[in-house]
Structure 1
Amino acid sequence: MKLLTVEGHKREALGKKDAKKLREEKLVPGVLYGNDEVVHLSVPFASLRPLIYTPNVYLIDLEVDGKTYTAMIQDVQWHPVEEEILHIDFLKIDADRPVKIAVPVKFVGMAKGAKAGGKLKVNMRKLRVKALADNLPDAIEVDITKLAIGDSIKVGQLQKENLEFLDNKSNLIVGVVSTRAAKSVTALDDDDEEGEEGASESEESSEQ
């Protein structure tokens, strides 16, 4: 998984008044949790943009006053009206402890059912997984090439090395559903087959 660096500083004072002052300076008050350690800090809002305005998921090198922590965003509290983060929570990541995180799904290929007039229906764009930080992928690749109309892929069908899927195995990730166009094609095919059968029967009757 890709790694981004965010630089922060320990907060000298806590409380609503101090938090408001930080926000006026375009800084976001936050907390880093992990292993019974709690670090109160602030980070520039600008440095969070690549992390929060993207569907991608990143691990973070969080540099706080000369000390670096591997972390991930656990929670973001937004202002109800303004484009302003009120508070952010980071979770410290240890190399030897599995991480639970939602990873984007990347669909590979063109479903043959879609080529036949069906419609690709995506139910899940992220999957919850559990793995060591070094084994976390940027995305879960799902090959949809062989999906015909009526076919689907469920969580239980996926297998990735060193990765545990946490969503219910019966949850449908993606499928190809029938459309009017697909039904029209099927009806035409059926008519052609019936026509051929009728023609064959007529030829046999004439011969007799």
Structure 2
Amino acid sequence: MLESIEFLPGDSCVGVTSFPGSGPGNGAESADEANTDPAASERQAQRALVELARAGNERALRQIYEQHEHQVRGHLFRLLGRDSELDDLVQIVFSRAFAALDRFEGKAAISTWLYRITVNTSHNLIRQRFRRDRMQRAVQWFEFGRGADRVAPSKVDARDEAQRILAHLQPDLRQIFVLYHHEGLTLQEISDIIERPLSTVGDRLTRARKQLRELVSQD
């Protein structure tokens, strides 16, 4: 997922605090301040780490990953559970973070900054899946066929939700959608029934699907 760096479990790196430019006597804060204020020392080390990472230092990028990978993975796991895409999502979070290093101002800790990226990444995925799953449940109901009246109790919720969403479609679009997905008719058969050109039927079916996607996303 990451183009220039492959992160492997157990692949250790040397701490960046020993790199040139990050030792005592460098930066705006004095060594005395760093020694007497642990928080200031941490901020100084964090700034040095980020500056090196911005410059493309591979060891600095790797250290950020190794220090925070467990945090990012744990948060994603709590949100999504056991997910086949979890490894990819971890890589996506760090890819986005490294691409946005120039926008990291240092006002918050790196861990806080990574949490924001993780939350945004997972939120978008959860929302997309929620909408997709609802649409799939609705479409599945309309594809049950003429035996829908004998639908099993487990299908009732999907049926009710599908019908509620369908009720918001424009009547002409709803008609085409039901004939095609619920009744299982072909476009030509529908064209013959409503006495409209085949191209009109296809266009209305496309518009119906588009409206349904919009209704699901707004709901």
TM-score interval w.r.t. the shorter chain? under 0.3
| Higher fraction of strand | 1
State the TM-score, normalized to the length of structure 2: 0.25
